[in-house]
Chain A
Amino acid sequence: MGYKMKTWILAVIAVILMALYVFYGLTGNIGYVLPRRLLNLLAICLTGGAIAFATTIFMTTTNNRILTPSVLGLDSLYMLIQTIIIFFFGSNMMVLLGGSVNYLISIAGMILFSLFLYQFLFKGEKNNIYFLLLIGMILGTFFGSFTDFMQVLIDPNEFMMVQDRMFASINNVNTDLLYISIGIIAITFIYFMRFYKYLDVLSLGREEAINLGVPYHYVVKRLLIIVVILISVATALIGPITFLGLLVVNVSYELMKTYRHFYIILGAVLVSMIALVGGQFLVERLFTFSTTISVIINFIGGLYFIYLLLKENRKW
């Protein structure tokens, strides 16, 4: 079966799951429930797509299949930046200016960080991938602990006011930010199209890319900025899901068996939507687990990650 056929099948599965998510057990006040579900669905799809998209770009530019933005702690960093902003400016500003200003400032912070990350990842001599992974995971813990630390420091009353609006999860989708997120993703995507043609060549590796005339550092720096913007948007909408990107992009690689990024990205985006929408449908409606899909994805993702590490168990 060719990758075009597979893409179609994935798309059909995704649409069926979305329909199930929206219409299954639709009772009560339909006028209230239906729009609510549609908004949630939109947010989940947007997030799933953004994570899959960002992770594929990131894996291609770093030339490996283990390193993902989330594993490097980027989504924890986003949470930290949000918290720091509240810490310094207080919740009054949040209420006054609305969540979106905070959101935009955080994205700006993330872009600054990506430039630092770029120095670390691409400027130096050849980096040991495991070293980067370990540093990234501990940075994630560091950002996470620091976020909690700051949150304890913030006046509890003040914190309560903003907590719900800031820290989303898949059961508490931040629909306030939905429209601005769509706008940001659209702009990012249009900007990305300028670099799209380089992706296939970049996957051959840095040296091959330079040899074939890719303005390497220029392109990589901009792709990284695109990655952090997408991750910020995703984290703002439904909170961090560490292993989603790793899982869906690798599934897409295995499924599509091609180097063509058009299909890898499309496949990853679809798999991601299937995993999130389908998973949430199963967990929430069918099994009525009180757990969240993030927990399950992190469990499967963690196992898969160990498998990848042990399989690719060699020096890089």
Chain B
Amino acid sequence: MKIWHLVTLLILFSFTSVFLGVTDLSPKHIFNLSETQQQVLLTSRLPRLISILVAGASMSIVGLIMQQLSRNRFVSPTTAGTMDAARLGILVSLMLFTAASPLLQMTISFVFALLGTLIFMKILEKVKFKDAIFIPLIGLMFGNIISSISTFIAYQNDLVQNMSSWMQGDFSMIMSGTYELMLVSIPILILAYIFANKFTIAGMGEDFAKNLGLNYRQVVNIGLVISALVTASVVLTVGVIPFLGLIIPNIVAIYQGDHLKRTLLHTALLGAVFVLFCDIIGRIVIYPYEIPISLTVGVIGSAVFIFLLLRRRKYGL
């Protein structure tokens, strides 16, 4: 697959996404918008498109970075407890400060996501048997434990309703004014691009990295901060999107190899295209209602993950 394939798909899906919805809005109106149409476009359709693109691209890249740093193909925000920790963070912020501003929620959620990922990385260091299968297994379990704590807290504080809104990623509530926080991901992604080479080297192991004069700890920490920050912002604005950071980098690696500089752009584009595609499906299937993105991605994503696992075994990797 070439870059321009992905770009074409991206543009195609983006147009579909913008012109799909209950309010009649089609390309022929574009230069002659009525007031309602203009409003729908600016407050709903475009913010939705932007948040989809950002969420898809950034979650995929975060997955890629985490895989490089842990040197394990199946580590991602879903399989390292990052998402669950971010969700717990939002819950805690709501509990402590009933009217927490989005920025405060974001900060606390980020701290939790970072802590969760750090704990997971610590567990990884303890594990002697670094099997590619074994690590995500522990990560998934770790996530389950965190999320049962969240459920417990939510029940105790009557926050179940609120919590399920981050449990299920959903783009239908995205409006201008609610999604801007997510845009912090964009500068972070640029940062990731700058650091790409260093991540690749760090991914080759601590000794190797030090040998090349790289400050290993620092690079790893930057990677983890990036992952936690992006995950927290996405979970807060959209909700949990499972398996995204896991499957996209793996698919790209199949046809593009493993060098981060070469795969970064592909990963970002494919992630955006994939989420756009899933979102469009979710909006068409029971039109005029919508299926939350987390369900569509959950079904397709887990199926793809199983496919990846079986494929890996077939080639005896």
Interface residues in chain A, defined as those with a beta carbon under 8 Å from any beta carbon in chain B: 128, 130-131, 133-135, 137-139, 141-142, 144-146, 148-149, 152-153, 289-292, 295-296, 298-299, 302-303, 305-306, 309-310, 313-315
User: Contact at A314–B129, with CB atoms within 8 Å?
Assistant: yes
Q: Which A residues lie within 8 Å of B291 (CB)?
A: 149, 152-153
The proximity string for B residues 180-197 relative to A, scoring 1 for CB distances below 8 Å and 0 otherwise, is 000000000000000000
The answer to whether B155 and A291 touch across the interface, beta carbons within 8 angstroms, is: yes
Q: How far is the CB of A304 from chain B (nearest CB, A)?
A: 10
> A residues within 8 A CB of B303?
142
Please give the distance in Å from B136's CB to the nearest CB on chain A.
6
CB-CB < 8 A to A295: which residues of B?
A: 148, 151-152, 155
| A145, A152, A306: the one within 8 Å of B138 (CB) | A306
- Give the bracket for the number of chain B residues in contact with chain A: 35 or more
Q: Which of A289, A296, A309, A315 contacts B137 (CB 8 A)?
A: A309
Interface of A is mostly: helix
B128:A130 contact, CB within 8 angstroms: no
Residues of A within 8 A of B123 (CB): 306, 310
Contacts of A306 in B (CB 8 A): 123, 138, 141-142, 145
| Segment at the A interface, from B23-31, B223-231, B292-300 | B292-300
Q: Is the CB of B299 within 8 A of A291?
A: no
> Which listed residue (A142, A291, A305) contacts B141, Cβ 8 A?
A305
B286: Cβ under 8 A from any A Cβ: yes
Q: Is chain B's binding surface mostly helix, strand, loop or mixed?
A: helix
Bound CA span A133–B291, Å: 29
The answer to whether B305 touches A138, judged by C-beta atoms less than 8 angstroms apart, is: yes
Report the bound CA distance from A133 to B127 in whole Å.
17
- The answer to whether B306 has its CB under 8 Å from any CB of chain A is yes
B212 at the interface (CB under 8 A from A): no
Kindly state the separation between the CA atoms of A292 and B292 in the bound complex, as whole angstroms.
Answer: 26
What residues on B are CB-neighbors of A290 within 8 Å?
155-156, 158
The reply to whether A310 and B126 form a contact with Cβ atoms under 8 Å apart is yes
Chain B positions 195-240 with a Cβ under 8 Å from a chain A Cβ: none
User: Closest CB-CB distance, A257 to chain B, in whole Å?
Assistant: 27
Cβ–Cβ < 8 Å partners of A146 in chain B:
299
